């Protein structure tokens, strides 16, 4: 379970420009649920994801993931925590164009110290789950937008994370590829992943496998 308690993120604290990107956020996200974090541009979605991802530290408040307090982990611990627990999917894919799909997907496994055989097995499995194994040897620069996003899904799940964070994952996809992305999410949910999707794309409205929609406005959760 992800528990967020009295979380604040202030930029330019104690200056004239002081700005609350997140204000007194309290949330509980159950394990193996799929949650939509919905809000217009600038509402604080990416900031909240990056705090849950331990990539940034809050100004105050707590984030507890499976009983571990993670909000203020030292950098080395937070990168280990991310490598073990989290997968990320971004709107801009964040892939290396000059590498093949399978080499991109193998990147999160390299620091972990698996053998080449183990890496190959895990990469192939992730590519299969994301429906992109047929393009495994293709350079990412030659993939379509939808194929790039499926490659990014494979990279996000290759370390078998419990939690998958998606930041505007359909922003660069057309309608058909957005639907395929949603089918992929549904499959990941069946694998008992906890999934948080930050989005303002109405395509995520009223999907049967979504457990909760959290609305955020000006850094505040609105019910």
Ligand X SMILES: Nc1ncnc2c1ncn2[C@@H]1O[C@H](COP(=O)(O)OP(=O)(O)OP(=O)(O)O)[C@@H](O)[C@H]1O
Q: Is 51 exposed, middle or buried (0-12, 13-18, 19+ CB in 10 A)?
A: buried
Residue 132 or 196: the one with the smaller Cβ distance to ligand X is 196
Of the pair 21, 130, the CB lying nearest ligand X is at 21
Nearer to ligand X, 38 or 148 (CB): 38
Closest listed residue to residue 51, CA positions, set 59, 39, 43: 59
> 57 to each of 25, 113, 197, how far by Cα in Å?
14, 28, 20
Q: Which is nearer to ligand X, 119 or 220 (CB)?
A: 220
- Binding-site ranges for ligand X (CB under 6 A): 11, 21, 39, 41-47
Work out the end-to-end distance of the chain between its first and last CA atoms, rounded to an integer number of angstroms: 20
DSSP class per residue in 23-76:
EEEEEEE-TT-EEEEE--TTSSHHHHHHHHTTSS--SEEEEEETTEE-TT--HH
Question: Which lies closer to ligand X via its Cβ, residue 45 or residue 135?
Answer: 45
Q: How far is the CB of 125 from ligand X (least distance, A)?
A: 31
Q: What is the maximal distance between C-alpha atoms in the chain?
A: 56
- For residue 16, the minimal CB distance to ligand X (Å) is 14
What is the secondary structure of 74-126 as a DSSP string? -HHHHHHHHHHHEEEEETT----TTSBHHHHHHGGGGGGT--HHHHHHHHHHH
Instruction: Confirm if 171 and 91 have CB atoms less than 8 A apart.
Output: yes
Least distance in angstroms from the C-beta of 41 to ligand X: 3
Q: Between 195 and 198, whose beta carbon lies closer to ligand X? A: 198
Q: Minimal distance in Å, beta carbon 181 to ligand X?
A: 17
Q: Nearest approach, Cβ of 105 to ligand X (angstroms)?
A: 25
Asked if 188 and 195 touch (Cβ cutoff 8 Å), the reply is: yes
Could you tell me the smallest distance in angstroms from the CB atom of residue 49 to ligand X?
8
């Amino acid at each position: 379970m992800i528990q967020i308690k009295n979380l604040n993120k202030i930029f330019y604290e104690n200056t004239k420009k002081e700005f609350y990107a997140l204000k007194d956020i309290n949330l509980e996200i159950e394990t193996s649920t799929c949650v939509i974090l919905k809000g217009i541009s600038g509402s604080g979605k990416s900031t909240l994801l990056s705090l849950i991802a331990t990539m940034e530290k809050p100004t105050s408040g707590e984030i507890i993931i499976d009983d571990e307090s993670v909000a203020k982990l030292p950098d080395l611990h937070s990168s280990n925590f991310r490598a073990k627990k989290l997968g990320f999917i971004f709107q801009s894919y964040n892939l290396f164009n000059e590498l093949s799909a399978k080499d991109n997907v193998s990147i999160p496994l390299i620091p972990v110290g698996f053998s080449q055989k183990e890496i190959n097995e895990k990469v192939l499995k992730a590519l299969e789950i994301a429906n992109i194994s047929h393009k495994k040897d293709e350079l990412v620069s030659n993939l379509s937008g939808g194929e790039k996003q499926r490659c990014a899904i494979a990279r996000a799940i290759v370390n078998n994370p419990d939690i998958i964070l998606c930041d505007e994952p359909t922003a660069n996809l057309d309608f058909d590829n957005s639907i395929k992305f949603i089918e992929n999410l549904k499959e990941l949910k069946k694998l008992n992943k906890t999934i948080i999707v930050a989005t303002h794309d109405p395509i995520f409205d009223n999907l049967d496998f979504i457990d909760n929609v959290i609305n955020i406005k000006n850094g505040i959760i609105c019910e």
